[in-house]
Structure 1
């Protein structure tokens, strides 16, 4: 189990067509949302986040984490390193659509500090915020902020993760759409 924030170069994105066991992760926060026949579990982990979306027989699990994290290979639909920007769409069974966009943005120290402050202010209004302990080299620890928007036919997740050792910010936005 990973207990510290990975380096930016180790970040991966995976989409699975199955649930995964929570004991694979160090979970800092959890939220469950149920609406219009779908159920979603959202976890902030030490490496990033996990979103497990259930609708009928469809299960989609999005994992943002470290390449060193042991993950099941069975029913893995997508897996790639998180570098630069990317946008993808996946059509699951039953007409369910999953779409994701991400960007990994390097920064300088002052811009990074401003971004961390902005995330903290946003989190006081809504969403889930996890502050991680600072390492000995950095004044502020990493942050993970996850906000969800639940509608009858669409579920949206916005996740922001900071990596102080690399002065980098990861932004991930995903949509789960019912037919």
Structure 2
């Protein structure tokens, strides 16, 4: 299956207070974690990722995807184009969600170094997916996601590379239960 990434200028970041239908996304890697009363599902998609976090009837869904992908607007509480650096937070029933995402253009040398580190680090405990080359560059994009779980919180880091644009999207997301 051919898996090529869109241009980085087309990316959007969204948060929903509901689950999104799985058929809206093609997941290349998936991991589900259950701990301390919450469930986290991480999906690497062709554009970025989908995080679905659940606790006692509340679902929060974070999406990093193409702005051209049609997604519902019902119960969407954040919607940003990914450019530069941005932070935001949301609180509901004592549950705290925080995020920071950043688009960074880098030199060819630094980009290649980051690609190698994401692909070749044997110590990785997260999800990694290497995409096919688009043909413009001799390397494909890479996505890496990792979750650091605690009983009352989870911290997720994601890195998505865009070889055609020599750009890296970095996200950090934090879910915390009350108490």
Q: TM-score range by the shorter chain?
A: over 0.9
- Structure 2 match to 1:178: 177
Q: Deviations over 1:57-76 (max 9, x none)?
A: 21100000100111111100
TM-score (ref. length: structure 2): 0.95
| Runs of 5+ consecutive residues of structure 2 not aligned to the other structure | none
Whether the 8 Å contact between 1:123 and 1:145 is mirrored in structure 2 is no
Whether the 8 Å contact between 2:4 and 2:132 is mirrored in structure 1 is no
- Structure 2 match to 1:118: 117
Q: Cα RMSD (Å) of the superposition?
A: 1.1
- Structure 2 match to 1:33: 33
Shift of 1:123: 5.9
- Structure 2 match to 1:169: 168
- Structure 1 match to 2:45: 45
Aligned counterparts of 2:68 and 2:119: Cα–Cα separation in 1: 29
Give the secondary structure class of the aligned counterpart of 1:111. Answer: helix
Which has the higher mean CA deviation after the structures are superposed, 131-140 or 42-51?
131-140
| Runs of 5+ consecutive residues of structure 1 not aligned to the other structure | none
Whether the 8 Å contact between 1:123 and 1:129 is mirrored in structure 2 is no
Q: Which runs of 4+ in 1 moved over 6 A?
A: none
Give the secondary structure class of the aligned counterpart of 2:9. Answer: helix
Aligned counterparts of 1:161 and 1:125: Cα–Cα separation in 2: 15
Aligned counterparts of 1:17 and 1:176: Cα–Cα separation in 2: 13
Shift of 1:106: 0.2
Shift of 1:166: 0.2
Counting matched residue pairs gives 176
Whether the 8 Å contact between 2:4 and 2:140 is mirrored in structure 1 is no
Q: 5 Å matches for 1:30-179? A: 30-92=30-92, 94-122=93-121, 124-179=123-178
Aligned counterparts of 1:110 and 1:28: Cα–Cα separation in 2: 27
Aligned counterparts of 1:120 and 1:126: Cα–Cα separation in 2: 12
Aligned counterparts of 2:99 and 2:156: Cα–Cα separation in 1: 9
Shift of 1:136: 1.5
Shift of 1:121: 3.2
Give the secondary structure class of the aligned counterpart of 1:13. Answer: strand
- Structure 1 match to 2:15: 15
